[in-house]
Structure 1
Amino acid sequence: MFDITSADSIIKFAKKLKGQTLRLACGEEIEKHGYKGKGNFGQILEKFYFGYEPNSDSEPDFKEAGIELKSTPLKTLKNGEYRSKERLVLNIINYLEVHQEDFENSSFWKKNAHLLLVFYLHDKDIEILDYLIKLVDAWQYPSEDLKIIKHDWESINQKIKDGKAHELSEGDTFYLGACTKGSTALKSYRNQPFNKAKAKQRAYSLKQGYVNHIIANIAQEETAVYGKIIERPEILEQVRTIEEIVILKFHPFYGKSAEQIEQELGLQLNQNAKSYFANLTNAILGLELGQKIEEFEKADIQVKTIRLKENNIPKEDISFPTFEYRELIETDWEDSDFKNILESKFFFVFYQFEGKNLILRKVKFWNMPYSDIIEAKNVWVEIVKTVSNGKIVKEVTKKGVRKTYFPKKTENRVSHVRPHAKNAADTHELPIADKLTGLTEYTKHCFWLNASYVKDEIYLK
């Protein structure tokens, strides 16, 4: 077994799990586990391998050694590398108490300062006891990450102190998020101390991008494709936030054309290439062309380059990835891809046309306000209803153009749905055949942010 007072002993015992399944590691006794629900892999692991009863104590799982055990699923990419299937959920945020804490003595830090991570390969086609455990190791936060995580924790706490626990969003922060925890039912809402409005129960979580960073470290994957904005942690002490560091790098180029910026940075880029603006952004940030921005990847930040017309309206609406119709109606709002996107943190780079030249106007970190997320939710509700009822096509014109019931730009201030496909034959399967046409597949569609919304609520604010 292991010594419960020794971190090294616990970690060494845990590492024996690598390459095994719960069934192999725990023996016949495990067949009687009886655990049901989303977190049962972790519960089985705790009881049948480490020998303690699963609990929701505020102390770490191995309190004598100060170690918290977490298990989380992996997926495999086509190149064989592992990636996190989801964010890593930590402890529940107690709105009524956390506002009295500071970071160093917080329940979050006491519980999560030293993590023992067990990553297993998720496979929906096999029993949970046969999931293969691929990576096992301890994790403590590097100093530059810890500074950002501390600032994230303080940002979450400040929102609770401001009576806005019900407006918390994962887009508020960088590496440490406040994710929803529990069903959409009223029973998962909680009182908050400085506002009578009930707040959805939330938990601290490490964002999926940050978990991928941990996985790459444990698996010792090549990280040369990443470039750091913050090479020296002490920079974070001179300048309060990562946002300020990034924005200051762009300031000297405000009012200059893309071509001028290229010249000043000694670049010769292909202006017709899809990667043109990404390369320009990298160069401004002091990174090599083609490198991923490590801090942005860890924080799941979505970088969007926007080209504005002379009237300040973006040349195009902003598209998101296409959705699968079947998945759309089988997923509730809280777990939907659309909500996850809307709760992301974005980094906008705004260029404006002056004749044929594109002038850098400003950059901005942004996440959607709570009230706008609720407004955009109406678009999601509408399309789920449309697809579920099999009432997609309203009419087919004489020219063969299909008019749909999907939410239009004129019907919602924030968002709309329209095609995002190579052509009409580029389709996804429908869960229910369309009643008017009998189609069982339909052209790929996605959610879009309205250009007018981007102008009014992001660029001009």
Structure 2
Amino acid sequence: MKFNTVEELLEYTENIKNKTFREIDKANLLENSTLKRRKGLLGNIVESGFYGYPINSDARADFDDIGVELKVSGYVLTKKGEKRAKERLVLSKIDYNQIIHENFEFSKLVSKNKKLLIIWYHYEKRKDPGDFLITDYQLYDMEQDIEIIRNDFKTIKAKVDSGNAHELSESDTSFLGACTKARTSADRTTQPNSEILAKPRAFSLKQGYINGILSNLSHINTTLVADKKEKTVIDFANSRFKPYFGKTQLEIYKEIFGEVPERIPKNINKIISDKVIGKEKDLKETNDLFKKTNYLIKNLPITDKNKARERMAFKNLKLSEFDDDWDESYWKNFFEENTLITICYQGPSSSKNGYRILKEVKQITFNDEELDSIEKTFNLVKKTIKTGDISNLPTPKSFEGQILEVAPKAAKGKNIYETFLDNENTKVCFMLNKNFLNKKLEQIN
């Protein structure tokens, strides 16, 4: 089927709404394969069964005559009934040896993916894929956020050009990611300007970015446009904190609120962050950069020798977060995509809260080796749940090269571990250990 204009394509696509994949599977692809064995199965069904195009791996866009690429993507519904993208939107594979010679405007990425027709279906975990309901479609144009995506492309390209493709991380960038694209975690490929093998990767629109697009679902176009002043959340945080570098927590507090508190709050760092950067809810409502980015603001006290005074804790674990394998898990996406905005307050070991000096705001990301270590921690938790044996829990110093451990966030005592399996909401959390944080602090100074 041939379309002469985008309008013709959209008019025809209106007919796909409220159909299941089984209804449009004219080639019976569902009978001969599964989603687990064939990642692009649902896309193949739409391409061949609905649009009548032969399945191919052509480098050109699917609707090349009108410059539109077809993508099929799922969403889940939150308890509040809000749509959230199930996963990132994977685009074209990154050729490490080619990207260093490409200009963004004429790159393979842009030529094939500048405009995307996204077919949305409702993903339900225990439902047969053939019965997933296609509910809507959306035309996405990269032009709406072109400045930030161009900057992301340049960031990825620069890392590859410097011989550090093995150090790529999705959290290096804002909207355009470099996600892993391999059959197994052991897969590696060559890169220019280095003999170190790197994981194969593909360009992707990050899950947080897709959520921002999805939240403003429109058939013609999405209208959310990011603030062009700062191209990354770390740039935004640095610009807001710049007037306060070199000042103590109490000095910053007084500048912000006009007075010094009678008692120094334990959470003075968070109070300052909420005021200087903004509260998460407010940021996502008022700043499109934050609405389309997965990020986490973390305050880290450090010594005068630039060492972490404590571990970095995350939210308490839920047993259901380990139902999926690592590649499909919430935690893989969390550590790959989240930008960790780390606000460092420095002081000698004897310094008290309130008197530490704001030194810097830095971003912590994870390279391939570190993500492999995190995967090992994840799998040990999954094994604990499966076997019921809490001795498998990845507590501190469980294996060589461990950077992420399970520990109580507040309460202490062995009973916390012994009751790990008693409820869905556990009393422990993931923590990045101090050795890892110290290594990152050395790298970013």
Q: Does TM, scored on the shorter chain, surpass 0.5?
A: yes
Residue aligned with 1:295, SS: helix
1:414 aligns with 2:396: no
Deviation at 1:287, TM superposition (A): 8.0
Instruction: Tell me the distance in 2 between the aligned counterparts of 1:219 and 1:269.
Output: 49
Deviation at 1:176, TM superposition (A): 0.7
Match of 1:284 among 272, 276, 281: 276
The one-letter code of the counterpart of 1:72 is S
* C-alpha spacing 1:32/1:176, structure 2 compared with 1 (3 Å): closer
CA contact (8 A) 1:329 1:387 kept: no
**5+ residue gaps in structure 2?**
none
Which stretch of the first structure deviates more once superposed, 31-40 or 201-210? Answer: 31-40
For residues 170-225 of structure 1, the C-alpha deviation after alignment (integer angstroms, 9 at most, x for no partner) is 12221111111232165x533333334433221111111000010012169xx9xx
Structure 2 equivalent of residue 296 of structure 1: 290
Deviation at 1:4, TM superposition (A): 1.6
CA contact (8 A) 2:344 2:358 kept: yes
Deviation at 1:77, TM superposition (A): 1.2
TM-score for the superposition, normalised by structure 1: 0.78
CA contact (8 A) 2:94 2:202 kept: yes
Residue aligned with 1:217, SS: coil
* C-alpha spacing 1:39/1:323, structure 2 compared with 1 (3 Å): farther
Percentage identity across aligned positions? Answer: 30
CA contact (8 A) 1:22 1:45 kept: yes
Instruction: Tell me the distance in 2 between the aligned counterparts of 1:288 and 1:260.
Output: 24
Match of 1:362 among 360, 364, 370: 360
Residue aligned with 2:300, SS: strand
For residues 227-270 of structure 1, the C-alpha deviation after alignment (integer angstroms, 9 at most, x for no partner) is x9x74x3x36xxx8664453132111123344443443457999
Deviation at 1:367, TM superposition (A): 1.1
The one-letter code of the counterpart of 2:40 is G
Deviation at 1:274, TM superposition (A): 9.8
Structure 2 equivalent of residue 346 of structure 1: 340
CA contact (8 A) 1:338 1:447 kept: no
Residue aligned with 1:51, SS: coil
Alignment of 1:423-442 (within 5 A): 424=416, 429=421
Root-mean-square deviation (CA, aligned residues, Å) is 3.9
TM-score for the superposition, normalised by structure 2: 0.80
Instruction: Tell me the distance in 2 between the aligned counterparts of 1:115 and 1:275.
Output: 44
Structure 1 equivalent of residue 247 of structure 2: 256
Aligned residues: 426
* C-alpha spacing 1:206/1:275, structure 2 compared with 1 (3 Å): farther
CA contact (8 A) 1:179 1:204 kept: yes
CA contact (8 A) 1:426 1:444 kept: no
Instruction: Tell me the distance in 2 between the aligned counterparts of 1:131 and 1:410.
Output: 41
Alignment of 1:17-28 (within 5 A): 17-24=16-23, 26=24
Deviation at 1:280, TM superposition (A): 3.4
* C-alpha spacing 1:92/1:453, structure 2 compared with 1 (3 Å): closer
The one-letter code of the counterpart of 1:414 is I
* C-alpha spacing 1:450/1:357, structure 2 compared with 1 (3 Å): same
Structure 1 equivalent of residue 440 of structure 2: 457
Deviation at 1:373, TM superposition (A): 3.8
Structure 2 equivalent of residue 448 of structure 1: 431
Structure 2 equivalent of residue 162 of structure 1: 162
The one-letter code of the counterpart of 2:440 is E
* C-alpha spacing 1:304/1:269, structure 2 compared with 1 (3 Å): farther
CA contact (8 A) 1:300 1:345 kept: yes
